[in-house]
Amino acid sequence: MQLKNDLLLRAARGEKTERTPVWLMRQAGRILPEYRAVRDSVSGFIELAQTPELAAEVTIQPVDLLGVDAAIIFSDILVIPEAMGLPYEMVEKRGPWFPETVRTESDLKKLRVADGENDLKYVIDAIQITKKALNGRVPLIGFAGAPWTIFAYMVEGSGSKTFSKSREKLYRDPVFSHKLLQLITDSTINYLKAQIRAGANLVQIFDSWAGILGPEQYREFSLKYISQICDAITEVPVTVFAKGAFFAREEMGQLNCETVGLDWNMGIAESRRLIGGEKTLQGNLDPAALYGNPDQVRAATIEMMEQFRGSRHIANLGHGVYPDIDPEMVKVFIQTVKEFK
Ligand code: CP3
């Protein structure tokens, strides 16, 4: 189907666009009262994510209510461990929790490589329903966690400030670590390819815990696997967002991907110099800037846009939008990008 608004895809490929496309990481859910109403009609996040009609509905809400240039499928990065045989729970106000963790060779033996179409059928169905309902209005973004970030949750069993159990594994048992990372990588490639077959127009890899590794470990335990994914996905543009990986920007420029995401600690001019001219950059307004008043949000957005001027850019925040941000300020951010000349 022909897309009516393909700004995101053209910007990702480095083609000319009339204006800069804009969307927000974590736009589906979190901030919209309309999302909370749908979520409160079921038992919680997991049931919502596993009910394709409802997942499609909350995926489209930000397109209707905020006017973003892309939809991102409503799901979570933690569906992959579950599809590999490690189920998770979403504990209200505390986040994800795994009743069992993966720390030994015998734990590894209980896992399987996920098959996207069968093990994650509810996501694939949600993508198909969303595509139909969007009717070509904007592109649909598929996504997955980067292998290192997924590894961190599978070993740790929950979120953590230090992920010290996961990082312990890298030092004490690199063989185990590489085996688990490879299982996750193979599952993720299957999953992303299934999302693309179902209609995802672009895919993004979220490496949310990139910043807790040092440069050498990041290369060995994360970039190596992200690179396998980038090489395997040739059907649609790929975006890699590695939060906190300022030290790896030069290497990110060498990945087989179209777009590199920047967080707000990464200087724009410096990032462009390190990453090179062959990539689109996505980001990178501080999510906390949206706590300002409309004039402040407008000024901060214009300042960001000025710094990206004249180079390949997709406007976004430097991380996911915070749950207590006023949707009106999100609209000011989006409108300011759209009007920027
Ligand atoms: O971008 C989107 O809006 C699409 C949906 C999406 C969700 N999670 C829905 C969700 C995406 C892209 C994610 C990615 C995700 N999930 C990441 C990577 C991005 C990042 O923020 O760094 C990570 C690390 C997770 C893991 C996760 N899921 C955590 C830590 C939590 C709890 C706290 C939180 O972030 O809200 C979740 C739950 C989750 N995932 C919710 C939503 C809408 C909140 C659940 C609820 O409605 O109560």
According to the model, what pLDDT value does residue 322 have?
97
Q: Can you tell me whether residue 231 is helix, strand or coil? A: helix
Ligand 1 binding pocket includes 30 (Cβ within 6 Å): yes
Closest ligand 1 atom to the C-alpha of 78? 26
Q: What is the best residue among 77, 94, 207 to mutate for testing ligand 1's pocket, by most ligand atoms within 8 Å of CB?
A: 77
Q: Which of 13, 19, 26, 197 is catalytic?
A: 26
Ligand 1 binding pocket includes 28 (Cβ within 6 Å): yes
d(CA 250, CA 253): 5
26 catalytic, yes or no? yes
Nearest CA to ligand 1 atom 9: 76
Show Cβ contacts of residue 40 under 8 Å, excluding neighbours closer than 6 positions: none
Q: What is the best residue among 43, 66, 76 to mutate for testing ligand 1's pocket, by most ligand atoms within 8 Å of CB?
A: 76
> From the CA of 334, how far away is ligand 1's center (Å)?
21
In the sheet that holds 71-72, the strands lie side by side as: 71-72, 140-145, 202-207, 238-242, 259-261, 280-285, 313-317
Q: Report DSSP letters for 48-59, one per residue.
A: HHT-HHHHHHHH
What is the chain's pLDDT, residue by residue, as a tens digit (341 residues)?
Answer: 799 999 999 999 999 999 999 999 999 988 999 999 999 999 999 999 999 999 999 999 999 999 999 999 999 999 999 999 999 999 988 899 999 999 999 999 999 999 999 999 999 999 999 999 999 999 999 999 999 999 999 999 999 999 999 999 999 999 999 999 999 999 999 999 999 999 999 999 999 999 999 999 999 999 999 999 999 999 999 999 999 999 999 999 999 999 999 999 999 999 999 999 999 999 999 999 999 999 999 999 999 999 999 999 999 999 999 999 999 999 999 999 999 99
C-alpha 244: how far from its chain's center?
A: 14
> From the CA of 17, how far away is ligand 1's center (Å)?
30
Q: What is the best residue among 22, 23, 26 to mutate for testing ligand 1's pocket, by most ligand atoms within 8 Å of CB?
A: 26
- In whole angstroms, how far apart are CA 105 and each of 82, 102, 176? 18, 8, 7
According to the model, what pLDDT value does residue 302 have?
98
Ligand 1 binding pocket includes 77 (Cβ within 6 Å): yes
* pTM assigned to the model: 0.97
